Structure 1
């Protein structure tokens, strides 16, 4: 069984914190960005990205994130942690 690769950060390099402290690019807060960096287990990273996708859905206006993150994953040869 192949070892799962670590996920890259959900950050898509926009980093503008408006929307009540959430980034307009990825929806993470500064605290969430630090939290993701501290996650060592791949299953925890997958759970974090799943939470983030739901957060984006709840907040709305994050349709641009999925294609940008999928491109980032493809460059690294990593399968998406969510259904597209």
Structure 2
């Protein structure tokens, strides 16, 4: 779980190029998924979303760069990343 009071960062890694059938080449989210993540308030919902996203990346392929970038983002914010990452 994330440290108390610390929000889990967005899975976005600031690439934001939607070229793979509407999926970002950086994080695999669609524009609709980005809006959904922003609307999630409960940490357990955010973690479940990120776990789902990791599975989506695995299914789509070519997202091996994301895990390292997201782990760095979590470390910078002082938040424990989801276990599935």
**Coarse TM-score class (shorter-chain normalised):** over 0.9
Partner of 2:22: 21
Native 8 Å contact 2:26 2:66 kept in 1: yes
Please, which runs of 5 or more residues in structure 2 have no aligned partner? none
Alignment of 1:4-83 (within 5 A): 5-83=6-84
Structure 1 ranges of 4+ moved more than 4 A = none
TM-score, with length taken from structure 1: 0.93
* Gapped regions of structure 1 (runs ≥ 5): none
Normalising by the residue count of structure 2, what TM-score does the alignment of the two structures yield? 0.92
Aligned CA RMSD, in angstroms, stands at: 1.4
What count of residue pairs does the alignment treat as equivalent? Answer: 83
Higher relative contact order, chain-length normalized (CA < 8 Å, sep 6+): 2
After superposition, the C-alpha distances for 1:28-83 in whole angstroms (9 at most, x for unaligned) are 00000000000000000000000000000000000000000000000011111024
